[in-house]
Amino acid sequence: MTPFLGTQPRLSNGTNGTNGTNGTSDPNGTSDTKTDRPHRNTLLEGTQAALEHLLLRAKGQLPVECLAHIAKANFSTTNTSGPYYPSPLKQTEAISALKAVEAGIAAAIADLEDGPKERHIDVDMERASAFLFSTYLATVGGMDKFHPRVRTLLKDTDLLQAQSILYRRLSANLYETKNPGEYFHLHGSLEATKALNMVGLEGHRPDLAGYSECIRTIEDHVKQFTSDELEEMNWKIKQAGVTCLKWEDFQATEHGQLLIREPPWKLESLETDTPPSPFPCKPSRAPKPQILSGIRVIELCRIIAGPAMGRGLAEYGADVIKVTSPNLSDVPFFQVDGNLGKHTTDLNLRNTDDRKVFEELLMSADVILDGYRPGALTRLGYGPLQILELTKHRQRGIVYVAENCFGHVGPWSSRPGWQQIADCVTGVAWAQGFGMGLNEPVVPPFPMSDYGTGCMGTIVTLVGLYKRAQHGGSYYGTTSLCQYDIFLLQLGLYDQSLVNQLREQHDKEFFELRHHDSVDEVGKRALKSMRRTHPELFEERHMQDCFSKGFNADVRTVRPVVNIEGTWNGFLRTSRPNGSDRPTWDYWELDDDMLTQ
């Protein structure tokens, strides 16, 4: 039985008489809907509540040895003024709780390696918050993702110009349908043409260059269809679009009801025949031992959520090789942050010679990370059971972890999707819109569910490695963007008085956004406002600089969130573009500038 099947109290937008008031949902589904009492400080209390809820939801999915470490985790913050983001969603609380769980498992692994002991764990809540928009804080050559010349330093992996041409980029956006008040998030993925053709538009329109003009043109075509019609067309051409639902509507769907019963992540046994495989405890060149030193990870992922899983493992010392196809697009700037600590190599897994190279890497891998569409790697012969068959002769188990958009159970589990799709289908976008005083959805600022899901993927991988070391066997871990959003929404929203306070504190320009404003525009305005209202998020102490040979420029990234006594979690090498390294487990360089904390 799930610990929580309650409904989220709806936030009044203050303009349209939306029913209900907002409070905090507890794990039993009850809610405090009083909005007239004084606001209590908020981030620390909210984080403790989020952690309690998370541990209840993840019951049975964590080794008992980590629970004492998690219980003693310290949350540090200089914040005394309330939430950071111009949003009613408890994002800081959610990610801080997840990072405490991640650190607790890491501490339990350290106990296996050098004996049980009390280990002070500190979760820096400013860095946890910065982690959720770390790609917006990253720079290469002093240029952020919005800088007009940053493309000169990036590898062009936008092979189909789905990112670099504004009209095509806006094929992935939220639009109103034929029915007033009904919204559909079109998503062209990394290709754009199919989604544009679906609503009767050409794949390329050189005559359309202006932001408002592109939005108006696409929305006019989307408005020719109802959401049901768009869903049917979308299904036929296997695109990632989705109708934008409210939380209560998502809970009423068959898929929502099934997924809400799932824990935020799940680990299942694939086989129990292989013997225990202790952690290598390979000598690390870091200032202190790293718990995953000697662990080998193959990352088969793109964009943010999947690479964030591998990034988390690299932070604990794992050797992570990100494998991408030279024939598949990836977002160029996301590699600045997402490839931190890794090696990257290009292999075409449809090519016989490249498959041989990949399978050589596989023979000594401990972990496989799968961030592609459900079933994609299985069709290539590299799904979890196929990997198990390929590696069975080596008598060492493997941990296979897959993240997707819709989860791994339910009728929508095979649908493709992205962060915006999960935020729209679960009700996150409607909650954001109501919190802005609108009667329409808005996709929240920053790819926060991507990073939150990446953290959950790191957690389930650590649990799998812990179980393999203790009990042997091989394991299959799963998580999803929708599962992160469910966890987030189950925490409830900030009460109305605090939301009103956020509206007063943040830039008026942010609250002038509408449903059809792009994630880039939402992110730009949020970032500008947060720099003014919360300069503590942008302090130098949170950032790390190192020269990258791959980018031939200095790279700046957010420092690690947690500190665990007796171990060192940090990156041994800086970032690089996709396809920068040879496909080998040898030649792991060390960047001295990365060794400071």
Going from the C-alpha of 373 to that of each of 45, 416, 480, 485, the distances in angstroms are: 37, 6, 11, 19
pLDDT-based confidence at residue 248 (cuts at 50, 70, 90): very high
Q: Across the chain, what does the average pLDDT equal?
A: 94
- Asked if the structure places residue 160 within a domain, the reply is no
Confidence at residue 9, expressed as pLDDT on a 0 to 100 scale: 36
pLDDT per residue as tens digits for the range 84-119: 999 999 999 999 999 999 999 999 999 999 999 999
β-bridge pairing 543-548 and 183-186? unpaired
Cα gap 338→340, rounded to integer Å: 6
Confidence at residue 597, expressed as pLDDT on a 0 to 100 scale: 65
Q: Are 175 and 516 in contact (CB under 8 A)?
A: yes
DSSP class per residue in 446-508: SSHHHHHHHHHHHHHHHHHHHHHHHH--EEEEEEEHHHHHHHHHHT-B--HHHHHHHHHHS-T
Same domain, yes or no, for 232 and 372?
no
Final residue in a domain of this structure, among 244, 264, 279: 244
pLDDT above 60 (res 17): no
Confidence at residue 14, expressed as pLDDT on a 0 to 100 scale: 36
Same domain, yes or no, for 487 and 591?
yes
Same domain, yes or no, for 182 and 145?
no
pLDDT-based confidence at residue 40 (cuts at 50, 70, 90): low
pLDDT-based confidence at residue 409 (cuts at 50, 70, 90): very high
Confidence at residue 596, expressed as pLDDT on a 0 to 100 scale: 83
Final residue in a domain of this structure, among 220, 244, 268: 244
Same domain, yes or no, for 260 and 196?
no
pLDDT per residue as tens digits for the range 322-367: 999 999 999 999 999 999 999 999 999 999 999 999 999 999 999 9
Number of domains in the chain: 2
Final residue in a domain of this structure, among 244, 273, 299: 244
pLDDT-based confidence at residue 42 (cuts at 50, 70, 90): confident
Going from the C-alpha of 335 to that of each of 150, 165, 304, 325, 587, the distances in angstroms are: 13, 19, 9, 14, 21
Confidence at residue 245, expressed as pLDDT on a 0 to 100 scale: 99
Look-up of token digits 């830039």: 507
Same domain, yes or no, for 286 and 239?
no
For residue 138 the two structure tokens come to 């990253």
What is the domain extent for residue 206? 166-244
pLDDT above 70 (res 2): no
Confidence at residue 80, expressed as pLDDT on a 0 to 100 scale: 83
pLDDT-based confidence at residue 34 (cuts at 50, 70, 90): very low
Average pLDDT over residues 411-426: 98
Look-up of token digits 């390929």: 390
Same domain, yes or no, for 334 and 460?
yes
Confidence at residue 11, expressed as pLDDT on a 0 to 100 scale: 52
Confidence at residue 115, expressed as pLDDT on a 0 to 100 scale: 95
pTM above 0.85, yes or no: yes
Confidence at residue 464, expressed as pLDDT on a 0 to 100 scale: 99
β-bridge pairing 121-124 and 74-76? parallel
pLDDT per residue as tens digits for the range 478-519: 999 999 999 999 999 999 999 999 999 999 999 999 999 999
Average pLDDT over residues 451-460: 99
Same domain, yes or no, for 254 and 311?
yes
Look-up of token digits 């209202």: 533
Q: Percent of the chain at pLDDT above 70? A: 93
- Return the closest-CA partner of residue 362 out of 335, 305, 318, 400: 400
Same domain, yes or no, for 5 and 74?
yes
- Asked if the structure places residue 464 within a domain, the reply is yes
Same domain, yes or no, for 69 and 186?
no
pLDDT per residue as tens digits for the range 526-560: 999 999 999 999 999 999 999 999 999 999 999 99
DSSP class per residue in 229-283: HHHHHHHHTT---EE---HHHHHHSHHHHHHHTS-SEEEEEEES-SPP-------
pLDDT-based confidence at residue 81 (cuts at 50, 70, 90): confident
Which has more pLDDT, 396 or 42? 396
Same domain, yes or no, for 400 and 415?
yes
Same domain, yes or no, for 323 and 346?
yes
Same domain, yes or no, for 266 and 231?
no
- Return the closest-CA partner of residue 75 out of 55, 106, 56, 50: 50
pLDDT per residue as tens digits for the range 155-194: 999 999 999 999 999 999 999 999 999 999 999 999 999 9
Confidence at residue 25, expressed as pLDDT on a 0 to 100 scale: 38
Confidence at residue 118, expressed as pLDDT on a 0 to 100 scale: 95
- Asked if the structure places residue 229 within a domain, the reply is yes
β-bridge pairing 74-76 and 31-32? unpaired
